[in-house]
DNA sequence: AGCACGCCGACT
DNA sequence: GTCGGCGTGCTC
């Protein structure tokens, strides 16, 4: 008798044993998909092992073997297993994150599996390349891609967004003469391209996060551009980070890994410091802009105003720049007009009914919009609570800056850009933009004004400095002349490192603080989120779990740190609580965590685990 | 996750 | 007596 060990794409561990019927024995192979009866339904399972013994009674039979050739080779099976162990999900869930939708849904494919495994003699090599304007970085990428092609090996190039993927393709194709393939989830021809890559018809794959799983033959090189970008982290279960998966995969397949960045992540930098990876810093060959700081607090005092959008100094510089027909960028990382709307009479603050978060007023459409769940309502002119007509809108967004500018500079042409409204003309005097502007190429401003950056710095998030610094660094690319930063914390190391034109000042200080506090990259954080419709139940369940994990933390694979309502604590009508664990060994921590979560069940409560949350 | 099973209240 | 809402537990 022959049995197949099968895993499924559900949050259940497995593997599950099934009888292989006689007529399927010749077709069963490790790595193929099969239809299996599971509880009452038939679902897709992935064969991860074949044995002649089993301890389970009353086995069911495999219904059908789908693939002639395995869709998962040895490397991919190993990678998905490692991913499941690190990110605390089932092996089947990990496999499903690595496969295109068509295959997950059972689509049959006719495809030759070329499967030329790499010779595995090369030592895996990881390099972090940092440069401020990206040009030098790309020269290195192109050289390495050609090198890899010459060795008859494949390359995977990862970019943070679709626009960058298409631009990357334009940079790569002219200098090589081999077909490339674009792979990302929701690509209309995802499966078609996947098959093409697997058959060796494209040796270069360019894509986003999920392209790290591309079925290339003989992987020689992975390039991950803008490696600090948080889009490489999946915000659904399993919460994998493409950089971590790239490390796993290049290690399994003995390929080279290049991490590129404008301002790198502290995770990667720490690996450089620990001599675990190599480092290549490319000095900027363009002029470093002059950085000027304006202390808005002191100006608020002297002008006796509560909020200052454009300081006198910034106004003067804009005036001078416009006078010499220069182009100005005003950067404010907030969409809309006001951060919140409140009633002056009864002090009611208008909040999202589903998320309990302040609604943002959008002047152009006269609506209130929740930036978390996209709830929209018409902006009321009278207070829904006390019927007074004293609704006041405070805080600033790009629309506020725009209206302030048109008041002070009535003759200038102003253009706003945010994630919902892209750059469509370069013909304006003043651009007002959110962080989407940092993705644009070929822009060169004569003056950049940075407004409201304190909001980014004052987040309740230990990474807020790192994120702010990355944002400021990416703005450096957009000018060689002058940047004015308005802040009430002008002495913050984020700004001072830029003023002194020495980025390492920031990194050194931030690493020192992280080490002192036992934060990443020195320790790993594991975030456990609980959600449910009833606030009290979620709270109770979280406290129970916290107590339980507290009593077992003697095992020392993890340490419980905190228990509190998540931020936001209410999202899409569900309440959220979270537990934080700290660990030095993620795999061990997840192994025991899986055991504890298995017999932790509260009705109506969903528990998810996020390893290395961002 | 998703589905059946079982318990309990409401209504023919 | 029987229908259906939801809480609970299991999946080879």
Cα–Cα nearest to A179, from A161, A158, A154:
A154
**pLDDT of A13-47, one tens digit each?**
889 999 999 999 999 999 999 999 998 889 999 99
**Distance of A89 CA from C1 C1′ (whole Å):** 47
Where residue A150 falls (left for φ over 0; alpha for ψ -120 to 50; beta otherwise) is: alpha
Give the nearest nucleotide to A10, CA to C1': B1
Token code pair at residue A91:
């092996």
Asked whether residue A544, judged by its CB, lies under 7 Å from any atom of the DNA or RNA strand C, the reply is no
Q: What is the DSSP letter of A67?
A: -
Residue A57 Cβ under 7 A from any strand B atom: no
Q: pLDDT tier at A235 (50, 70, 90 boundaries)?
A: confident
pLDDT higher than threshold 80 for residue A302? yes
Instruction: Give nucleotides in strand C with any atom < 7 A to a protein C-beta.
Output: 7-12
Residue A97 has pLDDT above 90, yes or no: yes
> What distance in Å separates the CA atoms of residue A357 and residue A232, rounded to the nearest whole number?
26
Chain A span 583-612 residues with beta carbon within 7 Å of strand B: 606
Beta bridge partners of A221: A155, A256
Query: How far does the CA of A40 sit from the C1' of B3, in Å?
Result: 8
pLDDT attached to residue A330: 94
- Among all strands, which nt has the closest C1' to A606 (CA)? B1
Percent of chain A with pLDDT over 90: 60
> Residue A306 above 90 pLDDT?
no
**Separation between the CA of A354 and the C1’ of C8 (whole angstroms):** 28
Confidence class of residue A143 from pLDDT cuts 50, 70 and 90?
A: very high
Q: How far apart are CA A487 and CA A509, in angstroms?
A: 20
The alpha carbon of A309 is separated from its chain's Cα centroid by a whole number of angstroms, namely 30
Report the nucleotide nearest the CA of residue A12, measured to C1'.
C11
Most distant CA atoms of chain A, gap in Å: 88
Q: Is the peptide bond before A521 cis (omega within 30 degrees of 0)?
A: yes
pLDDT mean over A451-465: 86
CA–CA gap between residue A235 and residue A254 (Å, rounded): 28
In this structure, the strands spanning A278-282 and A126-131 are parallel
Q: A606 — phi, psi (to 5°)?
A: -110, 130
d(CA A333, CA A395): 12
Q: Output the pLDDT for position A115.
A: 63
Find which nucleotide's C1' atom is closest to A604's CA.
C7
The nt closest to A39 (CA vs C1′) is C11
pLDDT higher than 70, residue A165 = yes
Contact yes or no for A400/A434 (Cβ under 8 A): no
Dist. CA A526–CA A561, nearest whole Å: 10
Quote the DSSP letter at residue A401: H
Closest residue by Cα to the C1' atom of nucleotide C7? A603
Taking C1' of B3 and every protein CA, the nearest residue is A40
Chain A span 31-50 residues with beta carbon within 7 Å of strand B: 39-41
Burial of A347 (0-12, 13-18, 19+ CB in 10 A): exposed
The CB density around residue A226, as the number of other CB atoms within 10 Å, is 25
How is A508-540 classified by DSSP, letter by letter? HHHHHHHHHTT-TTTSEEEEEEEEES-HHHHHH
Per-residue pLDDT tens over the stretch A510-530: 999 999 999 999 999 999 998
What is residue A373's DSSP assignment?
T
Q: Give the contacts of A187 (CB within 8 A, at least 6 positions apart).
A: A193
**C1' (B1) to CA (A201) span, angstroms:** 37
Contacts of residue A505, Cβ cutoff 8 Å, sequence gap at least 6: A493, A496, A497
Angle at A196 (CA atoms; ends A195, A202), nearest 5 degrees: 140
**Helix residue ranges per DSSP H, A155-295:** 162-172, 190-198, 242-252, 266-273
Lookup: nucleotide whose C1' is closest to A17 CA: C12
Q: Lowest-pLDDT range, A104-118, A210-224, A376-390? A: A104-118
* CA–CA dist A409, A321 (Å, integer): 12
Q: How many residues does chain A have?
A: 614
Kindly give, in sequence order, each residue whose CB lies less than 8 Å from that of residue A58, ignoring residues fewer than 6 positions away. none
What pLDDT band is residue A598 in, cutting at 50, 70 and 90? confident
The candidate with the shortest Cα–Cα distance to A225, out of A257, A247, A195, is: A257
Judged by C1' against the alpha carbon of A58, the nearest nucleotide is C12
For A466, residues 6+ apart whose C-beta sits below 8 A from its C-beta are: A265, A266, A510
Is the entire prediction scored with pTM above 0.75? Answer: yes
Backbone φ and ψ for A283, nearest 5 degrees, come out as: -65, 150
- Cα–Cα distances in angstroms (integers) from residue A234 to residues A86, A240, A413, in the given order: 14, 6, 39
pLDDT at residue A171 above 80? yes
Distance of C1' in C9 from CA in A607, Å: 16
pLDDT-derived band at A595 (thresholds 50, 70, 90) equals confident
Residue A488 CA to residue A89 CA, distance in Å, equals: 44
Cβ–Cβ under 8 Å, residues A48 and A8: no
Residue–nucleotide distance: A295 CA to C4 C1' (Å): 65
Average pLDDT over residues A97-108: 93
Q: CA A601 → C1' B7, Å?
A: 19
A252: pLDDT confidence band, cut at 50, 70 and 90? very high
Residue A554: band (very low, low, confident or very high) from pLDDT cuts 50, 70, 90: low
| For the segment 138-167 of chain A, residues whose CB is within 7 A of strand C | none
Whole-angstrom distance, CA of residue A192 vs CA of residue A231: 25
Instruction: Supply the DSSP string of A304-368, one letter for each residue.
Output: T-S--SS-HHHHHHHHHHHHTT--EEEE----SSBSEEEETTT--B-B-TTT--BPEEETTTTEE
| Average pLDDT over chain A, rounded to an integer | 90
Please name the nucleotide lying closest to A603, CA to C1': C7
Distance in Å from B3's C1' to A161's CA comes to 38
User: How far is Cα A48 from Cα A15, in angstroms, rounded to an integer?
Assistant: 8
Average pLDDT over residues A264-280: 95
Q: What is the mean pLDDT of residues A547-571?
A: 81
* Tokens representing residue A200 in the block: 């060796």
Crossing angle for the helix pair A162-172 and A135-150, to the nearest 10 degrees: 60
Task: Say how many C-beta atoms besides its own lie within 10 A of residue A486's C-beta.
Answer: 24
Across the range A257-261, mean pLDDT stands at 96
In which element (H, E) is residue A154 found? strand A154-158
* A501 φ, ψ (degrees, to nearest 5): 55, 35
User: Beta carbon of A18 within 7 Å of strand C?
Assistant: yes
Using one digit for the tens of pLDDT, what is the confidence trace for A311-340? 999 999 999 999 999 999 999 988 777 677
The integer distance in angstroms from the CA atom of A237 to the C1' atom of B8 is 36
d(CA A272, CA A421): 39
Q: How many Å from the CA of A39 to C1' of C10? A: 8
What pLDDT, on the 0 to 100 scale, is given for residue A569? 79
Q: How many CB atoms are located within 10 Å of the residue A512 CB?
A: 10
Q: What is the mean pLDDT of residues A465-492?
A: 94
pLDDT score at A226: 95
Instruction: Read off the tokens for A124.
Output: 């895996």
Tell me the CA–C1' distance in angstroms for A546 and C11.
Answer: 27
Of all nucleotides, the one whose C1′ comes closest to residue A38's CA is: C11
| Contact (Cβ atoms closer than 8 angstroms) between residue A507 and residue A266 | yes
Q: Can you tell me the distance from the alpha carbon of A260 to that of A134, in angstroms, rounded to the nearest whole number?
A: 9
Name every residue whose Cβ is closer than 8 Å to that of residue A177 and which is 6 or more positions away in sequence.
Answer: none
Considering only residues 40-79 of chain A, list those whose CB is below 7 Å from strand C: 54, 56, 58-60
CA of A76 to C1' of C10 (A): 29
The distance (Å) linking the CA of A570 with the C1' of B11 is: 37
How long is the CA A539 to C1' C5 vector, in angstroms? Answer: 24
């Amino acid at each position: 008798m022959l049995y197949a060990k099968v895993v499924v794409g559900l949050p259940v561990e497995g593997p599950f044993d099934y009888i292989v019927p006689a007529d399927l024995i010749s077709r069963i192979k490790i790595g193929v998909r099969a239809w299996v009866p599971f509880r009452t339904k038939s679902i897709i399972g992935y064969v991860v092992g074949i044995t002649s013994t089993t301890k389970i009674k009353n086995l069911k039979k495999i219904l059908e073997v789908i693939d002639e050739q395995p869709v998962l080779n040895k490397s991919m099976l190993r990678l998905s297993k490692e991913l499941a162990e690190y990110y605390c999900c089932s092996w089947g869930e990990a496999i499903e994150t690595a496969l295109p939708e068509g295959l997950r849904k059972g689509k049959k494919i006719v495809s030759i599996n070329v499967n030329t495994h790499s010779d595995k003699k090369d030592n895996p090599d990881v390099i972090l390349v940092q440069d401020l304007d990206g040009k030098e970085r790309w020269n290195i990428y192109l050289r390495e891609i050609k090198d890899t092609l010459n060795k008859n090996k494949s390359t995977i190039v990862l970019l943070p967004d679709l626009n960058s993927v298409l631009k990357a393709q334009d940079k790569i194709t002219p200098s090589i003469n081999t077909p490339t393939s674009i792979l990302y989830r929701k690509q209309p021809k995802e499966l078609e391209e996947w098959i093409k890559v697997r058959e060796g018809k494209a040796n270069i794959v360019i894509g986003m996060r999920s392209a790290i799983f591309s079925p290339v033959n003989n992987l020689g090189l992975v390039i991950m551009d803008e490696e600090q970008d948080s889009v490489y982290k999946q915000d659904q279960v399993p919460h994998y980070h493409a950089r971590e998966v790239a490390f796993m995969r290049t290690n399994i397949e003995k390929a080279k890994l290049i991490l590129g960045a404008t301002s790198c992540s502290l995770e990667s930098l720490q690996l450089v410091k620990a001599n675990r990876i190599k480092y290549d810093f490319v000095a900027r060959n363009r002029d470093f802009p002059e950085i000027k700081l304006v202390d808005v607090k002191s100006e608020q005092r002297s002008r006796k105003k509560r909020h200052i959008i454009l300081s006198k100094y910034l106004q003067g510089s804009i005036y001078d720049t416009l006078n010499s027909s220069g182009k100005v960028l005003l950067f404010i990382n907030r969409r809309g007009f006001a951060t919140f709307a409140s009633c002056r009479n009864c002090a009611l603050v208008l909040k999202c009914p589903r998320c309990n978060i302040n609604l943002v007023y959008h002047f152009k459409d006269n609506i209130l919009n929740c930036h978390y769940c996209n709830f929209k309502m018409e902006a009321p002119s009278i207070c829904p609570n006390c019927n007074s007509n004293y609704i006041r809108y405070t805080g600033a967004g790009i629309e506020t800056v725009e209206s302030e500018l048109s008041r002070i500079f009535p003759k200038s042409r102003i253009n706003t850009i945010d994630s919902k409204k892209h750059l469509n003309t370069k013909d304006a005097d003043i651009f007002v933009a959110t962080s989407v502007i940092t993705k644009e190429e070929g822009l060169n401003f004569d003056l950049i004004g940075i407004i409201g950056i304190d909001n980014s710095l004052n987040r309740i998030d230990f990474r807020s400095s790192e994120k702010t610094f990355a944002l400021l660094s990416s703005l450096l690319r957009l000018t060689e002349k002058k940047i004015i930063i308005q802040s009430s914390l002008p002495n913050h190391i984020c700004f001072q490192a830029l003023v002194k034109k020495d980025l390492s000042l920031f990194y050194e200080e931030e690493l020192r603080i992280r080490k002192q506090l036992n934060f990443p990259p020195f320790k790993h954080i594991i975030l456990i989120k609980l959600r449910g419709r009833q606030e009290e139940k979620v709270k109770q369940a979280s406290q129970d779990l916290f107590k339980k994990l507290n009593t077992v933390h003697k095992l020392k694979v993890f340490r419980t740190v905190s228990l509190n309502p998540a931020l936001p604590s209410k999202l899409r009508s569900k309440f959220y609580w979270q537990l934080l664990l700290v660990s030095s060994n993620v795999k061990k921590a997840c192994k025991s965590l899986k055991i504890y979560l298995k017999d932790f069940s509260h009705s109506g409560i969903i528990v998810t685990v996020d390893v290395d949350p961002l």
